[in-house]
A = this chain, B = another copy of it.
């Protein structure tokens, strides 16, 4: 009888697995938080079946009760194969769960933003991506990685800034002020040293690490930084606007997420560009974490979440 009640009262486990960390939250059916935490990375392409099992068992050990429904989204879950693998491991770790929904990391982000309802989401961090759900179907634009675009991402910002600085040196014979910002971050003594560092193969995260300095320079109104940030944000806004137009949504609503949107100059540049491309839209910055979004993948928007997760009020028009 106690067992029966526990099932009836069943709690919902939300899991968002990224490359460096896996966030999880256990919620009551109405959304009250029972427990939550962070364990190691679980990009399913990187960790594989055994690695995923290890991470999920660690989560299981920390749970105060067995969940009856699980929503789990993983980075790297691009194809059916990875989805099936993740579902299999989840079933293995929690054989008593009655409902298991598996998705990509963009699914948990969409869930965090709009539950199971329609809406669009723009992600701008190390990479960038635009996704949207329209009449229950998911659409996307961009997100092709750093070599093929990722417009408006931290990587894109860094690449544009270094190019712009080199170009200005070519043109003017001396480097602009922004060069000092870039060199300070990389520890390079001069621009040629910086160029050599870029080719030493530090990887895309290293290059994306230039973005915070560039964004701060833009807030200080460094002209080159402003130009670079505006151009980068504009390209992402164009991608977003084009996607909404293609799928025939006249008044889409947008949630923005990822580290770059925390910067006022970037956010304003993006919002201004987007409003110039597609009018009458509601734009808000997403504050609900991905693990709650993952829980919403299985429980829907009926899952009310506490005040601490409320989305920010829609940004007032800055167009």
Contacting B at CB under 8 A, from A217-256, are 239, 242-243, 245-246
Pairs A–B under 8 Å by Cβ, sample size 10 = A142-B170, A144-B163, A144-B166, A144-B195, A145-B199, A148-B195, A149-B166, A170-B243, A170-B246, A171-B242
Cβ of A208 to closest chain B Cβ, rounded Å: 13
Residue of B nearest to A198 (CB): B147
Residue among A166, A170, A172, A198 facing the most chain B CB atoms (10 A cut-off): A170
Q: Which residues of B contact A55 (CB under 8 A)?
A: none
- Could you tell me if B239 and A148 are in contact, using CB atoms closer than 8 angstroms? no
A162 within 8 A of B: yes
CB contact under 8 A between A172 and B239, given known A147-B159, A148-B166, A148-B198: no
Q: Which residues of B contact A198 (CB under 8 A)?
A: 145, 147-148
- Could you tell me if B171 and A246 are in contact, using CB atoms closer than 8 angstroms? yes
A30 within 8 A of B: no
Please tell me how many copies of the chain the complex holds: 2
Give the contact-size bracket for chain A.
Answer: 20 to 34
A141 to B207, CA, bound (A): 22
A64 within 8 A of B: no
Instruction: In the A-B complex, list the 7 residue pairs whose CB atoms are closest, starting with the nearest.
Output: A141-B170, A171-B242, A149-B163, A144-B166, A144-B195, A147-B198, A148-B163
Residue of B nearest to A149 (CB): B163
Contacting B at CB under 8 A, from A113-170, are 140-142, 144-145, 147-149, 159, 162-163, 166-167, 170
Cβ of A262 to closest chain B Cβ, rounded Å: 26
Q: Which residues of B contact A246 (CB under 8 A)?
A: 170-173
Known interface pairs A144-B195, A149-B167, A167-B239; 20 further A-B residue pairs with C-beta atoms within 8 A, sorted by A's residue number? A140-B170, A141-B170, A141-B171, A142-B170, A144-B163, A144-B166, A145-B195, A145-B198, A147-B198, A147-B199, A148-B159, A148-B162, A148-B163, A148-B166, A148-B198, A149-B163, A170-B239, A171-B242, A171-B243, A171-B245
Residue of B nearest to A245 (CB): B171
Residue of B nearest to A247 (CB): B173
Cβ of A34 to closest chain B Cβ, rounded Å: 39
Q: Which residues of B contact A141 (CB under 8 A)?
A: 170-171
